[in-house]
């Protein structure tokens, strides 16, 4: 039986919101990937915006979401 220990804290990964137990290698992030993403966010100044999910793939999706308006592929009117 494991000896009494302080109950491990659970925090949410600042990047993706996954529950992470304190003391992990990449704490407070769920993994190396999220830690790097977080660094990248700071670098890009994304932290100004409060966004619950910031993931490279999601960012790509967001970027592509506006292509209806400003997409130059098919030409608006000719
Ligand atoms: Zn994460």
Collapsing DSSP to helix, strand or coil, 37 comes out as helix
- Per-chain residues with Cβ under 5 A from ion ligand 1: 13, 15-16, 18, 30, 34
pLDDT tens column, 28-66: 899 999 999 888 877 777 556 555 656 667 666 666 555
Residue 1 lies in a domain: no
Percent of the chain with pLDDT over 90: 15
Residue 2 lies in a domain: no
Residue 39 lies in a domain: yes
CATH label of the domain that carries residue 33: 3.30.50.10
The residue among 7, 12, 42 whose CA lies nearest residue 27 is: 12
Q: Which two tokens stand for residue 33?
A: 């990937």
Residue 47 lies in a domain: yes
Q: pTM, whole model, 2 decimals?
A: 0.44
**Cα of 10 to ligand 1 centre, how many Å?**
13
Q: Per-residue pLDDT for 67 more than 60?
A: no
Q: Tell the burial category of 67 from Cβ atoms under 10 Å away from its Cβ (0-12, 13-18, 19+).
A: exposed
Tell whether omega for the bond before 32 is within 30 degrees of 0, i.e. cis.
Answer: no
Q: How many domains does the chain have?
A: 1
**Cα of 73 to ligand 1 centre, how many Å?**
34
Enclosing domain of residue 18: 10-66
């Amino acid at each position: 039986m494991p000896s009494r220990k302080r109950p491990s804290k659970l925090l949410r990964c600042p990047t993706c919101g996954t529950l992470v137990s304190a003391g992990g290698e990449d704490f407070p992030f769920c993994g190396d990937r999220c830690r790097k993403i977080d660094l990248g966010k700071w670098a890009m100044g994304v932290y100004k915006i409060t966004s619950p999910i910031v993931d490279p793939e999601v960012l790509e999706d967001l970027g592509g979401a506006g292509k209806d308006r400003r997409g130059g592929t098919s030409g608006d009117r000719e």
